[in-house]
A and B are shown apart, each in its own frame.
Chain A
């Protein structure tokens, strides 16, 4: 795996990113040219474009496993799988954005989101500290803009500002960690750093400091305890499509960095594992317990997504091929499932104009199909067979048990039970509580309908036929070991 120079193949392996850039340009042009009543086409274009990029990537950009572009980017299966997931999430989010009155017809919004997707793609493939930091910041800045996009809404503006302040602070801390790493090893390439750390020339306490500092930045992205404080406020305040996007794609991108940096770059220093195991247990427990008390569906999903980050950490600390594969599988399942959950929230708010869980009463009578989509998504989040979430948890706990982390698997299973409770409470409101008088049926925009069908089928398919997906994740995991 040498460093190949600027060849045609290097360009082709960046096809998705190039495509996204072109798409962003198209979207901006459409924004200028289209009349206001045709602007919903922008969202459709974004979604169709994303789909085409995914198809093109599958056909032409199969990863070679090489370091390309002067060692900045590693063109491997791990990056490939994550990039496809981000583009998928971007496309779906565009479709859901139609359901948000403030976002639906704003071309620049879609362009910024595509910019965020490009940043995430590079987060997944970056093999060099400099590239990595650029990618994280690209994603981050686009994210801050998206969260605060609805300037007329105080909550959105506040969310954007909080997200930015918190992000900037943690980013600075992480950058300090990067600089220490460079200072002590003289290298910025993760592949070159690993052997130096393994040789033992860097003192343990220095590595310890580096680990903690980098963890701050990554922990912010993936929203694990105690770096999660921004999440509930931002999730609640940001426009729902953006929340869905941040809670799935952005979190997954953070995990891509976590896997890449900690397992590929800091491989020789496994002693951070116990601390990570502790964080995993605390994150799961804290996220689930607090979620119990929520009355706003977006806050509930925020804390539930904190808990889910904890489950993925369990797989991460199993620290094996199986563990990484199950983490990747979990993230794929989680992206699809949580997007579906937020899709339901968006569609419901589109008609009902509220995120209050009590207002969901009787939704099954107001729109049986929407309620069904919610049932599928929430049962999958709760980890019910035969849906994606069940198999994701199954693999994660299996990896933990195989790695002799039985106590952690046990904590995870207990947490899954707590989780089940609050997901079912929401479903109870939807299916059992009678609808308040005078409410009508729920109108589902066509693009949202398509997206919900795709996601629901995806949840069922990833669950019932988990094998091909898991094999994919397994192949990706092998790139790290």
Chain B
């Protein structure tokens, strides 16, 4: 009991240190670089410690799922009811608390080296641009934002209700905007290449669109259920029955599923599922630790975590709920779709970005077919190996930039065609990257990625979701292929540029996190091996992960029998993908100026993949331009002018000015009209000043006259 109470208190404290550290850095240590990162690291370390104490306590508690940690306080009294806010830790939260704080801690540690700590200020550097070779000009700010990001993620993780979760969710949205656009001053010669500030706006707008739909879902849920507390909804038969039986706005669908779909829209945005995946690759414009934060530890995991959390609602009424079907479709499609794009990318970070989208698709698809445990399992293993890969890629880029600094070359340090042969120059990065890559590719029996991916495939196979199984299998093959392609292009063979030849290994603050994460990228998988798997299953404690996590659900869902067929398929997919990648790129690594062999093999398809199916262009034509057109022409010209000003100005006057929309709008719409309004209000304000004459006799006269008037009015009313 004492242990439970301690865990309860610690749960409240988990998100606090990074949030406090944000304010401390912004307010007090913004001028001291080493103080700033020490504060951030200390705070994150404290969170990590708290989290792992909670994890340890939970793991040593029998049947933890039946007695989760829960604690709340009344937050907003509204007369008869009180809106309660609180924290809760159930097995699913424990899973998150295992990897989120660790990954965040390592990312912050990594950022110390990444931001060139210890080097002097380069005189060429200005705030808002990436540093040339000196320390990041806005060093402290970076750590403040990272802390806030981590704090928000932890708030979301321990929240016991959707509203608090949404707070964390939105703060993360803000942080992603601030961090993706961290180098807001950066511009490119190629005017079609997206800039960091453009990418930040894109990420923010895209996720905002999804968040609005999600907020509608939350409001709808509150309206129907009367509470937003997860446990109060999912474990209350009556509420669940009510949600399942009340018809929704869309005919034929139960409210539960409709709400589930609305909330799932939030995930589509946050976890970059098709069709709102477009922001994520561009988010690579941010500094690399940010990419790791967004794509592994925090933001995209948050989206998946939320739908896993909402699973009882989505799954209500048994299998085959329309919401789950939509999710299975979206997830599987995204997995394949993004994997094909990843095959044809040359930017080392963009490959990983599309790979992330693809892997998130796996999780969503897994959840869609009811593989609750497998989705949570893959979420965890993916966080480890993807954080590893992102930070590895950051280390690579750093190495190449170091080379560029020596050779004074001007080239794209992220283009894999400019690399090659880095294995000898950066051994730690190489080996850890290989471990992470093989885990992503699902190298059989050794890596964590294999076990979690295999579990998803096995579940799909066992429950007869054939098309999901096939689609995910093809994606698995492609994943292995592009991973091997990436490793070969980057590390193998000879350097294709001078800069790559002069690259060198990164600082220990950057490589240490890689080593730590590669440990987890291998061993994190052994907690979830199927209990009937020969030898390993029994040896590793009969799938402790599943037994533990399943406790989060109100009704236990059925597991599946162990079968060899899906295992063989997934082994073959992984191995053959890697082998094919090696055949094409690894056996005879590309030499300087050689074309990517895929271009010839795939023909025009390569162009389609490389250009991401032209989705950016499509959205630009179908959405961005029409919205701009609507806001400029319809909102400005018609609504603002005709409807609002129409009463004041004649239509003839309007037509005369149509030719000079811009000028007119600038002068009247923006500058003049609000001023005019302000003048009007201020004028009425001034006219009151007449009675404020400064003579106390006047004041008393007015006051006492007013008394007589009020008295008279009251008297008349009462008569």
Give every chain B residue within 8 A of A232 (Cβ-Cβ): 692
Chain A 129-185 residues near chain B, CB threshold 8 A: 161-162, 165-166, 169-170, 173
CA distance A233 to B694 in the complex (A): 7
Interface 9-mer from B302-310, B425-433, B458-466, B705-713: B705-713
Q: In this complex, what residue of B is CB-closest to A220?
A: B703
CB of A229 within 8 A of CB of B699, answer yes
A212 B688 Cβ-Cβ under 8 A: no
User: Within the complex, what minimum Cβ distance (angstroms) separates A456 from chain B?
Assistant: 11
Q: How far is the CB of B501 from chain A (nearest CB, A)?
A: 48
Which among B682, B696, B714 is the interface contact of A166 at CB below 8 angstroms? B696
Q: Which listed residue, A230, A279, A292, touches B681 by the CB 8 Å rule? A: A292
Asked whether, in the complex, the Cβ of B718 is within 8 Å of the Cβ of A230, the reply is no
Residues of chain B from 618 to 644 with CB closer than 8 A to chain A in the complex: none
> Cβ of A474 < 8 Å from any Cβ of B?
yes
Q: Bound complex: CA of A391 vs CA of B691, how far in Å?
A: 34
Q: Is the CB of B714 within 8 A of A212?
A: yes
Interface residues in B649-681 by Cβ distance below 8 A to A read 678, 681
How near does chain A come to B508, taking the closest CB pair, in angstroms?
35
**Bound complex: CA of A156 vs CA of B528, how far in Å?**
78
With the chains together, A211 CA to B682 CA distance in Å? Answer: 35
Q: Which of B77, B694, B700 has the most CB of A within 10 A?
A: B77
Which B residues are in CB contact (< 8 Å) with A227? 703, 706
Which of B36-44, B68-76, B127-135 has 4 or more CB atoms under 8 Å from chain A? Answer: B68-76
The reply to whether B685 and A322 form a contact with Cβ atoms under 8 Å apart is no
Whether B602 is near chain A, meaning CB under 8 Å from some CB there, is: no
Complex Cα spacing A351 to B561, Å: 79
Is the Cβ of B703 less than 8 Å from the Cβ of A226? yes
A481 at the interface (CB under 8 A from B): no
Across the interface, which residues of A come within 8 angstroms of B78, CB to CB?
A: 398
Contact A471 B714 (CB under 8 A): no
| Of B74, B678, B688, B706, the contact of A290 (CB 8 Å cutoff) | B688
**B681 surroundings in chain A (CB, below 8 A):** 289, 292, 418, 421
Asked if A360 is an interface residue, CB under 8 A from chain B, the answer is no
Cα–Cα distance between A251 and B589 once the two chains are bound (Å): 82
Taking CB atoms, residues of chain A closer than 8 Å to B711 are: 208-209, 212
Minimal Cβ-Cβ distance residue in A for B691: A229
Q: Using a CB-CB cutoff of 8 Å, which residues 356-393 of chain A contact chain B?
A: 369, 372, 391
Question: How far, in whole Å, are A378 and B92 apart by their CA atoms in the complex?
Answer: 42
B interface residues, how many (CB within 8 angstroms): 36
Query: Which residues of chain B have C-beta atoms less than 8 A from A322's C-beta?
Result: 79
Structural contact, A275 and B700, CB atoms closer than 8 A: no
Chain B min CB distance to A301 (Å) = 15
Contact B685 A293 (CB under 8 A): yes
Interface pair A289/B77, CB less than 8 Å apart: no
B702 touches A467 (CB 8 A): no
Interface class of chain A by DSSP: helix
Task: Verify B79–A275 contact, CB threshold 8 A.
Answer: no
Q: Which residues of chain B have C-beta atoms less than 8 A from A230's C-beta?
A: 696, 699
| CA–CA, A279 and B699, complex, Å | 17
A271 close to chain B: CB less than 8 A: yes
A265-280 contacts to B (CB < 8 Å): 271-272, 274-275, 279
Residues of B within 8 A of A212 (CB): 707, 710-711, 714
Task: Please tell me if the beta carbons of B700 and A165 are within 8 angstroms of each other in the complex.
Answer: yes
A286 interfacial contact with B, CB 8 Å = yes
Residues in chain A near residue B688, CB distance under 8 A: 286, 289-290, 293
Tell whether B556 is near chain A: CB-to-CB under 8 Å.
no
Say yes or no for A11: interface residue by CB 8 A criterion.
Answer: no
Give residues 181-229 of A contacting B (CB, 8 Å): 204-205, 208-209, 211-213, 215-216, 226-227, 229
User: Chain A residues near B594 (CB, 8 Å)?
Assistant: none
Q: With the chains together, A271 CA to B704 CA distance in Å?
A: 22
A169 and B79 in contact (CB under 8 A), knowing A205-B715, A286-B688? no
Q: Compute how far the CA of A326 lies from the CA of B504 in the bound complex, rounded to whole angstroms.
A: 65
* Contact present for A165 and B76 (CB under 8 Å): no
Asked whether A38 is an interface residue with its Cβ less than 8 Å from the other chain, the reply is: no
Q: Does B60 contact A (CB under 8 A)?
A: no
A330 CB within 8 Å of chain B: no
Kindly state the separation between the CA atoms of A322 and B79 in the bound complex, as whole angstroms: 7
Interface residues of B in 547-596 (CB under 8 A from A): none
Known contacts: A208-B715, A398-B79. The answer to whether A467 contacts B699 by CB under 8 A is: no
Nearest CB of chain B from residue A299's CB, rounded to whole Å: 9
* Chain A CB within 8 A of B689 CB: yes
Given contacts A229-B699, A233-B694, A467-B73, contact A173 B707 (CB under 8 A): yes
User: Roughly how many angstroms separate A470 CA and B74 CA in the complex, as a whole number?
Assistant: 11
Q: Does A428 contact B (CB under 8 A)?
A: no
Interface size on A, residues (CB 8 A): 47
B residues near A169, Cβ cutoff 8 Å = 700, 703-704
Nearest opposing residue in chain A for B84, CB measure: A467
* Nearest opposing residue in chain B for A425, CB measure: B678
CA distance A467 to B83 in the complex (A): 10
Question: Given A289-B681, A322-B79, do A226 and B715 touch, yes or no (CB 8 Å)?
Answer: no
User: Bound state CA distance, A418 and B684, in angstroms?
Assistant: 13
Is B686 close to A, CB under 8 A?
yes
Tell me if A216 and B707 are in contact (CB < 8 A): yes
Given A166-B699, A286-B688, A290-B685, answer yes or no on A208-B77 (Cβ-Cβ < 8 Å). Answer: no
Contacts of A293 in B (CB 8 A): 682, 685-686, 688-689
A229 touches B703 (CB 8 A): yes
Q: Give CA–CA (A209, B704) in the complex, Å.
A: 13
User: Across the interface, do B77 and A275 meet the contact criterion of CB distance under 8 Å?
Assistant: no
**B59 within 8 Å of A (CB atoms):** no
Q: Does A466 contact B (CB under 8 A)?
A: yes
Please tell me if B717 contacts chain A, counting CB pairs below 8 Å.
yes
Which residues of B sit under 8 angstroms from A286, Cβ to Cβ? 688
- B599 at the A/B interface (Cβ < 8 Å)? no
Q: Are B77 and A470 in contact (CB under 8 A)?
A: yes
B216 an interface residue at 8 Å Cβ cutoff? no
Task: Judge whether A467 and B715 touch: CB under 8 Å.
Answer: no
Query: Is A204 a contact partner of B707 (Cβ separation < 8 A)?
Result: no
Contact for B82 among A161, A162, A292, A467, CB less than 8 A: A467
Complexed CA–CA distance, A372 and B706 (Å):
41
Given the complex of chains A and B, what is the CA–CA distance between A166 and B699 in angstroms? 8
Q: A165-B696, A166-B699, A286-B688 are in contact. Are A467 and B74 (CB under 8 A)?
A: yes
How close is B67's CB to chain A, nearest CB, in angstroms? 26
B482 CB to closest chain A CB (Å) equals 45
B 213-248 binary contact with A (CB < 8 Å = 1; else 0): 000000000000000000000000000000000000
Among A289, A322, A398, chain B packs the most CB atoms within 10 A around the CB of: A289
- CB proximity to B under 8 Å, residues A285-317: 286, 289-293
Closest A residue, CB atoms, query B77: A470
**B79 pairs with A271, CB closer than 8 A:** no
**Bound-state Cα–Cα, A204 to B716, Å:** 11
Residues of A within 8 A of B82 (CB): 467
The residue in chain B whose Cβ has the minimal distance to the Cβ of A211 is B714
Q: Mark B427-461, 1 if CB is under 8 A from A, else 0.
A: 00000000000000000000000000000000000
Given the known A-B contacts A208-B711, A274-B717, are A289 and B685 also in contact in the complex, defined by CB atoms under 8 Å? yes
CA of A160 to CA of B54, assembled, Å: 62
How far apart sit A291 and B682, CA to CA, in the bound complex (Å)?
A: 9
For A292, the chain B residues whose CB sits under 8 A away are: 681-682, 685
Q: List 15 A-B contacts (CB under 8 A).
A: A166-B703, A212-B707, A215-B707, A216-B703, A229-B698, A233-B692, A275-B717, A286-B688, A289-B688, A293-B686, A421-B678, A421-B681, A466-B77, A467-B75, A471-B77
Measured CB to CB, the residues of B under 8 A from A are: 27, 73-79, 82, 678, 681-682, 684-686, 688-689, 691-692, 694, 696, 698-700, 702-704, 706-707, 710-711, 713-715, 717-718
> 4 smallest A-B Cβ distances: which pairs?
A229-B699, A293-B685, A226-B706, A212-B711
With A212-B714, A230-B699, A467-B74 known, 14 other A-B pairs at CB within 8 A are A208-B711, A213-B707, A226-B706, A227-B706, A229-B699, A272-B714, A275-B710, A290-B689, A292-B681, A293-B685, A369-B27, A466-B75, A467-B82, A474-B77
